[in-house]
Every structure is written in C-alpha cells, then in structure tokens.
Amino acid sequence: MNDKKANHQVKIVRVTEILTHGNADSLEILPIGEYQVVSRKGQFSVGDLAVYIQPDSVIPQTEPFRFIWEPYMCEPTEPGTTFQVPEKRRRITVRKFRGEWSEGLLLPVTDFDQLVDSTLTRHFVEADFPEGTDVSDLLGITHYDPDAGKFETGGESSHAPRLTKKYPKTFKGWYKWLFRRFWRLFHKGPLDGKEESISLGIPTYDVEALKNYPGTFVEGEKVIVTEKIHGCVTNSTKVRLVDGRQKFIRDIDEGDQLLGVNVFGQLVPSTVLKKYNNGKAESWLRVSGKREGLAGRGNSFFAVNCTPEHKFWVEERDQFVEAKDLQIGEHALTLRTDLELTPLQYQVILGKLLGDGYLAIVKNTAALHYGHRIEDKEYVEWTSRGLGQLSNTRVDESVSGYGSKMLKGSSIGSSFVKTQFKCFYEKETKQVPFWVKDELTPIAIAFWYMDDGSLSHSQGQEDRAAFATCGFSKESCGVLIDGLLKFGIESQVADYEYNRIVLNSKNAEKLFLLVAPYIPPCMQRKLPERYRGGTGWLPKSESAYKTTLTAVTIESITVNEKVSSKRYDLETSTHNYFANNILVHNSNARYIYLDGKQYAGSRNLWKSEDSDCIFRRVLNTQSWIGDWCRAHEGYVLWGELTPTQKNYEYGSTSPQLFVFDIRKPDGTWADESDPEPAQLMEHSVPVLYVGPYSLEVVQKHVDGISKVPGAKNIREGIVIKTARERHQPRVGRCQLKIVSNDFLSKDNK
C-alpha cells in the first residue's frame, strides 16, 4: 500500500480527452481527473500513457526536466562538482497559458529512461507500470515542503509548544516513531532539535469543495453539517512588495517581504509567514470603485476579485470587513500607486545621516536610527514629526558611554530609505556621497546643524559656527563645503586632531538666517540670542504631502461569474497585505495548553505572549478558551475569529472564537463519540443538521439565516463531515464544503 498522500504522488495516467484551446492554435487542454494541463498541440493522442506531475512537486536535476532547471544553472563553487539548482527553481507550479490554467506537468512515459525497456528502442511496457502506478520515488520527484527545517521565533511569533511524549501502540506506529527520531538526530535545526516546528504535528486546516470529491460520503451515513467561513483572492491578484514593486500572489514565496500596516497605521515591512493555495473557489465577488484624487498616478479605478469572505479595511467602521458585507459608498484603504519618500522625509533623513544618525540595513529595507539626550526630548519629537508616517512611534531610553541618559528614536524600515541612502555605507565607515552637495536644502542643513553643529561665542567677537565632522574623510568634508557654498556660505576644514568644518562670523550669520526657521526651542541654544524665541516650523503632520494610505470609494460589489481561479491567501507578520493596492486581512486560529503555558496562534504560527494580535486578545475577551484548554491539556482548539462587523456582529460587539474542530492529544479528531464537542457546543460554529447523508438534504441547509445567536446575516456556506471520523483515499479526512451563493445576490445598495 502507498502511504504517500495523493498530492505527493506522481502517477502513470491515460489521456482520455483532448480539448481545443480557445485562445491558441498551437496548444491543447488535457483533463487529468479534476485537474487540467495545457500541452503542445499533437504531443499526445487519446489513449496515450503519460507521467502526471502535480503542482508543488520538486523535479530532480535530470535530463527529462532540463528545460526547467537549465536556465538557473551557475558555475559550481568547487571544481569537480555540479551546481545544484535550488528547490524553488525546480518546483512545479500552476501557470496560465493564453488564458487557460495548466495545473502541473504532463510528460510522455518514453521521456524517462527508468520507464522504458531500452534506451535505444525507448519502448514502454504497460504491464511493468500500469495506469495509476506511483513512480515518484523511481523518478526522484519529491513534494515541495516550504516548512522543512524552518523554525519560527521572535517578533509576533513564538516558540511552538512541546508535546507530551506519547508512545505508539502498533508495529507501524513504532516504525514511524523510530524513523522520525533518527531523522531528527541528523537534521537538527537552528534550535538544536527542539520540537519548535511550526507544524507541531498539527496539520494545516483546509476543507475542499464537495464538487471535487462527489463520491466521498456514503448515502445514508450519519453526517454533521455546520457553517463555514474563509476568505481568499485570485491567483492573478497583485501583491505589493516592500520595495514598491508588485508581484502576482501565486508567485509569492514564504519569506518574501511585502508592505503591510502596523497597529499605528504606518506602512511597514511585512514578512510572508505562510502561503495558502486553497484550490478552486465556487464563487467570486468583484469589488471595484474609484480612486480619489490623491491616490497617485495611473487610472482612477480599482478592482479586486476575491471570495466573499475576504476582508477589507473599511474606514467608516475602523475595522476589517468581509467582501460580502461591504456597502456601496464605504471607503476601503488603498496604497498610493506612486510610492516614494516625500521631499521632507528625504531632507530630514539626509540631515540626520550627516549628523548623529545611522542606517540599520536589514535585507531589502533600512531604518534611520538616532539618539539624543533625554533633556532634548522635544528634538526627538521634532525629528519624528519631520519623518511623518515614516516615524517609528517607539522611543527607548538608554545610557550613553559617558553616563548620559539618552532617548533613541528611529524610522520604520523602508526599502525606499535603503535605495536612497545605502551609498553612505559603500566604504567601511559612513561617508558622504558626491551627490549630496546638490541635494542639500535648508531643512537638511538645519537637522545636520542641530545634530553636529555648535555655536562659538566669545566676549567681544561676533558669533561663529562649526560642524563636527570627526568621522568623515577630507573628501567627504569637501562635498559638504561645496554643498554649503551653493547657499553662499563659505567654510573650511579646520586643522585639528579631527576634521571640523568651521565658519567665520559673516558666513555663520548666513547659516543662522538659513536654518533658524526650522529649529525648535530646545535646540535654539545653538543660535545667537537674537534668533531665539520662535517655535520652529515644519509642515503640519495632520495634512501630510502624498500620504501613503488613502481612502477609495467602493462603487460596485458584484458576482463575477467569469473568474475560474484557484484561491490564494497569505499569512503575514502584520496580519495584512495589499492586494491590488487595497489593504486586506488574513486570519484563522488555534489554541493549546501544554506544560503550564497557554499557546495561541494562526493556522501555522504560534503568537508570542506579549503580542497584541487578535489571536491573543480574544483570550481576554473570552476567558472560556483558556479555562477549557487548561482543563484539557494537549487538546487543540481550532476555530474562526470573528471581529466586529456592521450588520454581522454574530451576537457580540467583541472579538469571539467559534470552535469548528478539536484535535485530541493522540492526533485524532474529536467526533460524536467523544464528550469534548458537546462541552463546547455553545462556543462552536452552528450545527445545521445531524443525520443520514443525502446530497438533496444537505443542500437545503446551504442557504438561510445564520444560526449564531443574535446574528441577522445570511448564511455563508456549510461544512459536511462524518459523525464518526473516517478517512478516504485522495480526500483524507471526510470533511468537505458547499459554498452558498444566496448571499451573493443580496442588495448592495
């Protein structure tokens, strides 16, 4: 018996049908079970046997697949070795050819030496490899596992709980247990083999559509029908990367850096923690509208194709709202199409880098960091005001090497900051690029002077000024002298132990006239007495130039019957991302109590105890979760989080969890024979039907009003599962869904 999951197998299949490609005369469509593959016209005939390789398979670096891996070949790092093309470059994915999806790869059986009787005749003997044979091991094809060897720590995510040791009771169980033990012994991760994997043996929770597996349930067997909620976008949706570029969501990988929004409403880097391919959806909505005048360049319209449950940030409600609940005239949050640093941000960062500031560069982003005496708190706030939406709201206290109490501020990480200013660090120490002399403005000079400038006041002499440029080379000082000269300010490098740019009284006066308007009271000690007393000036922060996030009006919410696409969703470190420049949300929750600690997380990542994410907040609003978990150590609660929504409150104005499954410590799922589901009945997704299975009967429960107490919204769909846990080949656990179309026709006016 083959223990591999169906989607991990590579089978010999027979071509039973060839369809015409409506958009390409040279291509054909070949249905393979529930999938379809686009192939070159004439490559196959009806009746041919072929090797079907499913999406998310990883092909070996062998001759039949040369056309896939050869473009990524590089010179080997060591003589006599072969360059190994990375797995992600050898991964079979879903692609669109002239408007038709090709789900996987289909190759003639005769392409493989392992399958033919002779490499000369290349004759295939069907008796040796009959239809349905899994040849994945023979051909060296594996399944892509993005989580292999990965451990999620730090930040929003936390260490996974360690399971209590439970030993197997069968020979097969002992075999698998020993295999895992030996594997871990030689494959330790960065946490030295601790059981910190994000999977924890707890599978990703996915429910397939009933129409894809119509023969799963036996007529008359006892089933349980409940409501179902989930949300995704189409594979052609473009997601905004951290550097401002856009990329199709289907091409996004775990670890990619996107743009997200933090709890302060700021644009920040957001790491992709998990990508979900949830198969084809039965229904899609098209949410479209008009961009306002300040949303950037390009056309004035936006549109997102998504499942009805996908969430958008709505300005009027100050929360994420599912697509099916959006109202005409409401405003969604969108990202500017012409993202860049504003002129003010640019000049503030430039001035700070000439002074005490420095860049912290991490991957594709960089953040400005700076520190000042605690007595100059006003100046830290002034810098933050100048950075505007780029400012990090967090300010830390520290003690300098001289014993002074300091305040440390920073900007948020931005690829635009890195792109513009990384050239300051092309040498071993921070130096001034040649172009700075042409970019200096009074604001940049003001911040440079407040950081590193000094006022020289002597009895009987006019005031003079100087800049401490200790860390800069003579060449860098020359660039700065040229930059000041652009404003008619002459200066020179003083001949001290370290470099110092000095100005005589006449040129110092020119400097004071130039920068005084931008200096707040706390830093006016660096100005002559006659320039003091002003409040300082910077543009008002509440009316920022080209705000990164703006509102767009929703003008249409319609059923899109033209879309035939797989559904994708992303889990990110900010729990949101920009789909076609519109801010959307992701969620799904699980809870477990182990070894005196309560764990909370999304489908694949555990959230740290000090995180302010919704997965942790709901533990406070619904104390029963922690109480039940403590009383049932080792049990995993799977549930759906439902934030407050206008007209979709589900009986509560606070976030709440609706349990849809319970996983027992032995790895099995609680069913009707267990007491746990009954204990949580009042906190579970509504049960719509319990009884003998009949397609006609269960379909009657797809539409209607939600059964959640106090809810007034229409039902979203149903999930059907067997009353007693049962598994079936290809499907796995017998649990499938039917999506309701009734709510799609609701009045959106």
Task: Answer yes or no: is pLDDT of 295 > 50.
Answer: no
Q: Which residues contact 528 (CB under 8 A, 6 or more apart)?
A: 455, 457, 463, 512
CA of 726: how far to CAs of 203, 223, 668, 691, in Å?
Answer: 16, 11, 10, 16
Most confident of 37-51, 220-234, 632-646: 37-51
Rounded CA separation 79/557 (Å): 60
Rounded CA separation 570/557 (Å): 23
Rounded CA separation 256/570 (Å): 11
Residues in the chain: 749
Show the domains of the chain with their CATH numbers.
Answer: 6-143 (2.40.50), 157-229+588-745 (3.30.470.30), 233-339+549-559 (2.170.16.10), 343-542 (3.10.28.10)
pLDDT of residue 372: 92
pLDDT digits (tens, 9 = 90+) for 215-244: 889 999 999 999 875 444 555 567 877 766
Q: Are 715 and 740 in contact (CB under 8 A)?
A: yes
pLDDT of residue 492: 94
Q: Which residues contact 389 (CB under 8 A, 6 or more apart)?
A: 266, 267, 544, 547, 548, 549
Q: Which residues contact 101 (CB under 8 A, 6 or more apart)?
A: 36, 38, 94, 95, 564, 565, 566
Phi and psi angles of residue 290, each rounded to the nearest 5 degrees, phi first: -120, 130
Most confident of 262-271, 273-282, 417-426, 606-615: 417-426
pLDDT of residue 15: 93
pLDDT of residue 151: 30
Task: Answer yes or no: is pLDDT of 690 > 90.
Answer: yes
Residue 645 confidence class, pLDDT cut points 50, 70, 90: very low
Q: Are 488 and 514 in contact (CB under 8 A)?
A: no
pLDDT digits (tens, 9 = 90+) for 371-380: 999 999 999 9
pLDDT digits (tens, 9 = 90+) for 249-292: 778 887 788 877 765 666 677 888 766 665 565 677 888 887 55
Task: Answer yes or no: is pLDDT of 652 > 70.
Answer: no
| Mean pLDDT of all residues in 498-524 | 95
Whole-number percent of the chain with pLDDT over 70: 72
pLDDT of residue 713: 73
Task: Answer yes or no: is pLDDT of 16 > 80.
Answer: yes
Site of tokens 């708190």: 377
Rounded CA separation 638/615 (Å): 12
Which one has a higher pLDDT value, 13 or 362?
A: 13
Which one has a higher pLDDT value, 557 or 643?
A: 557
CA of 369: how far to CAs of 124, 358, 399, 421, 444, in Å?
Answer: 66, 5, 16, 13, 16
Both tokens of 450, joined, read 């407040």
pLDDT digits (tens, 9 = 90+) for 516-562: 999 999 999 999 999 999 999 998 765 555 565 666 788 888 877 76
Phi and psi angles of residue 169, each rounded to the nearest 5 degrees, phi first: -115, -5
Rounded CA separation 318/74 (Å): 50
Task: Answer yes or no: is pLDDT of 459 > 70.
Answer: yes
Helix, strand, or coil here: 471? coil
Residue 500 confidence class, pLDDT cut points 50, 70, 90: very high
| Mean pLDDT of all residues in 56-71 | 89
